[in-house]
Each structure stands twice: as C-alpha cells, then as structure tokens.
Amino acid sequence: MTILIGLALVVVGLAIGFIIAWAAGVGASMGLAVGILLVFAGAIVGFISEWLIDEAYRKNRELRRQLNDRADSVTLASALKTGGEGSDTASETLADFLRRRDQELGQLREQLSEMDTKADALQDEFDAYQRSHPDDLTVIKGIGSVYQWKLRDAGFNTLKQLSEADPGQLRRMLDVKNWQRVNVEAWIEQARDWAQRGK
C-alpha cells in the first residue's frame, strides 16, 4: 500500500511539475526539476505522517493495555474492599480474576513445555551433527590421527569440547603414561585459540 502511495506521489509530482512548466512557459527540464522537488517534498511529508500515525497507534495500544491492567486491579481491589458487605459478589469477582490468571499461567506453561521440547530436539540435532561432522583435531600441534581417534572415542569431537577439558582427566581418559611426551595442557590451550577463531 505504501509503495502504491509513493508511486502515486511520484506521478502526481511530475505531472504538477510539467503543468507548472507548461503554464509558466519554461522548458521541460525545469518542469522535471520542479516535479522532482515536489516528489521529495511529498516523500518527506509522507514519511513524517506515517511515523506520526505509527507512534499514535503504538501509544494507543500501550494505553489500552494499561487501562485493562488497571481495570483488573480496580475490580480486584473493590472486590476485596467489599468483602464483608457483598461477600458473594466479592468472592465471585476474586474467583473469576484468579481463574483468568490460572488460564494464562496454564497457557504459558504449555508454551514453555513446547519450547523446551523444541530446544531438546535442536540440541539432539546439534549433537548428531557434531558426531557426523566432527572438527579436525589434527590442526593442534601434537595431535595426530591416532590421538584424534582416541579423543573422538573419548567423546571429544570438537575443538570447543577439547578447549573445556580438564587436563588430568584427559590424561586418564587417553591413558597417557608419565614417560610419554604428550603436552595435554598445550592441546587445550591451542583448542581454546582455535575455538575463539571459529566464533
């Protein structure tokens, strides 16, 4: 709709420009210049008008929300004040208010449960992706194909996983002997660097 209005403004601006140029007896280039100026002026006025309308609509929506919240609060407060006099009406109003809040809470719980289910499914997909598309751990100095195989067998498929590993636990998992020249700490440090570069 906005595009159609913009195109209509362009056509009207150019037409008025040519009419003014014809009436004043100046050339077509002057008419084109006047038309372009009118188009720009129309665009600016249209933009400002649309912004003002959007702002008024947003404020109106916010006021309605506040009025609805206030109406609920006033209804609840009046029901609590008249507790002794019209206790049946007060209890019905309070019960109705609590019933609506329970329904909203139930809907929110359902939405949260759905989001948790979707998040779990996405995590499962991501874990499956990591298993089927593991990082090349041999980019780390000191890790060859044998240690890469051992690391994957121990559950380290990505550089990020390796960067978060505990050095002592990693030595035990890989069954690294004291006499072997394996610098697990350097692996973890390099994995941190690689993981940060990947971000």
Task: Summarize pLDDT for 43-85 with one digit per residue, the tens.
Answer: 777 778 788 888 888 888 888 888 777 776 666 666 556 554 5
The CATH number covering residue 172 comes to: 1.10.150.20
Any domain includes 87: yes
Instruction: Identify the three-state secondary structure at position 165.
Output: coil
Instruction: Tell me the per-residue pLDDT of 140-183, one tens digit each, with 9 for 90 and over.
Output: 999 998 999 999 888 888 888 999 999 999 988 888 888 888 89
| Structure-token match 């702002």, residue found | 55
Q: Which residues contact 43 (CB under 8 A, 6 or more apart)?
A: 6, 9
Sign of the alpha-carbon dihedral angle for 123, 127, 128, 134: positive
Question: What is the rounded distance in angstroms from the CA atom of residue 84 to the CA atom of residue 149?
Answer: 77
Range of the domain at 191: 137-198
- Of 113, 133, 153, which one is at a domain's C-terminal end? 133
Looking at the structure, tell me whether residues 152 and 192 fall in a common domain: yes
Number of structural domains found in the chain = 2
Looking at the structure, tell me whether residues 152 and 170 fall in a common domain: yes
- Of 101, 133, 165, which one is at a domain's C-terminal end? 133
